[in-house]
Amino acid sequence: MRVIFLGTPECSCPYLPAIEQAGGEIVAVVTQPDRPAGRGRRLCPPPVKLAAQARCLRLFQPATCRNPALIAELGALEPDIVLVVAFGQMLCPEFLSLPRVAALNVHYSLLPKLRGAAPVQHALLEGLTETGVTLQHLAVELDAGDIVGQRRLTIGADDDAATLTARLTALGVELVRELLPQVMAGTAPRIPQDHEKATWAPRLTKADSAIDWSHSALSISNRVRALNPWPGAYCRVGTDPLGIVRVRVVADFHSVAIPGTIVDVGKQTGPIVATGDGAVELVAVRPRGRRVMSGAEYMRGARLRAGDLLLPG
């Protein structure tokens, strides 16, 4: 079973050994080009590049996968399977036709729900209690291909985008190990999606980071969870941004305070902030240019008091 793998972020890396454990030979890895990152804007390799180099795998980093020369070179490798996990580029029909058996994708939702680039974040934004992983056939239309298999997962009350992605990755690796040999043998299921039930999970941007205190406490909590670690949620203290890393919904809280008002300051807890419906405790925050700290630690040095107003982001 000759496999071309396409992936970019850290969550894609565990699929390399999973392919080999399923009996596959990885004949090429395709990932995104190195990108500038950090304050120095130095070129940084994507995690999959480092993982592929550690395994001495043949590596490609095209700016676009529509390049006819790239498609021809990959086609000459005679792949049976193309497997995509969080690659970050749309693939053209010519690329999808490369494998002899199937072009597959691992998607972190229970398709047809949450098609798109950010299914993990949108599952949290929407306050879902369940999500999962889907192994599907790639199609020209985004995330619309037939389903090979799915695994379900309960979303924990403390899950954020980082922890939920890690848990879904573990499930996805199991799914690939189990179903890749069946796909190769022609015995795997192939279930068409119900397109009328499709929902969407578009890519998030930094514009999604701003906290609006007029929203409900639960909605704000879901947003903070969904945006951690990237792009992060924040509000403003005067003119300074304050990153909100973790909050707790305060049960049975009722107040007529303006949303964003600090209504209580405890010595051992973070500040309690009024919202449009209820209140949240700021459990962990990140002041500009500083490390993540508890809300209580932040308050000891911030010179804020009950009645002060945190501004929207």
How high is the pLDDT of residue 255? 84
Whether residue 219 sits in one domain with residue 107: no
Mean pLDDT in residue range 91-116: 98
8's CB contacts (< 8 A; 6+ apart) are 31, 32, 46, 47, 48, 86, 87, 88
Mean pLDDT in residue range 115-132: 98
Kindly tell me if the per-residue pLDDT of 266 is higher than 90. no
Kindly tell me if the per-residue pLDDT of 309 is higher than 90. yes
Residue whose C-alpha is closest to residue 52's, from 97, 20, 22, 90: 20
Three-class SS state of 74: helix
- The tens digit of pLDDT for each residue in 211-259 reads 999 999 999 999 999 999 999 999 999 999 999 999 999 998 888 999 9
Kindly tell me if the per-residue pLDDT of 122 is higher than 90. yes
Range(s) of the domain holding residue 129 = 2-197
How high is the pLDDT of residue 113? 98
- The residue among 164, 197, 230 that closes a domain is 197
309 in any annotated domain: no
42 in any annotated domain: yes
311 in any annotated domain: no
Residue whose C-alpha is closest to residue 247's, from 267, 277, 217, 276: 217
CA dist 14 and 62 (Å) reads 22
Nearest 5°: CA angle at 223, between 221 and 229?
A: 105
For the chain, how many structural domains are there in total?
2
- The tens digit of pLDDT for each residue in 147-178 reads 999 999 999 999 999 999 999 999 999 999 99
How high is the pLDDT of residue 66? 95
Whether residue 215 sits in one domain with residue 156: no
How high is the pLDDT of residue 225? 98
Say if residues 227 and 235 touch (Cβ distance below 8 Å).
no
The two structure tokens encoding residue 287 = 């002041």
CATH number at residue 23: 3.40.50.170
CATH number at residue 223: 3.10.25.10
Residue whose C-alpha is closest to residue 22's, from 138, 183, 151: 183
Residue whose C-alpha is closest to residue 160's, from 74, 283, 19, 8: 283
Mean pLDDT in residue range 290-313: 94
307 in any annotated domain: no
How high is the pLDDT of residue 39? 74
- The tens digit of pLDDT for each residue in 199-222 reads 999 999 999 999 999 999 999 999
CA dist 111 and 173 (Å) reads 17
Name the H helices within 198-294: 217-226
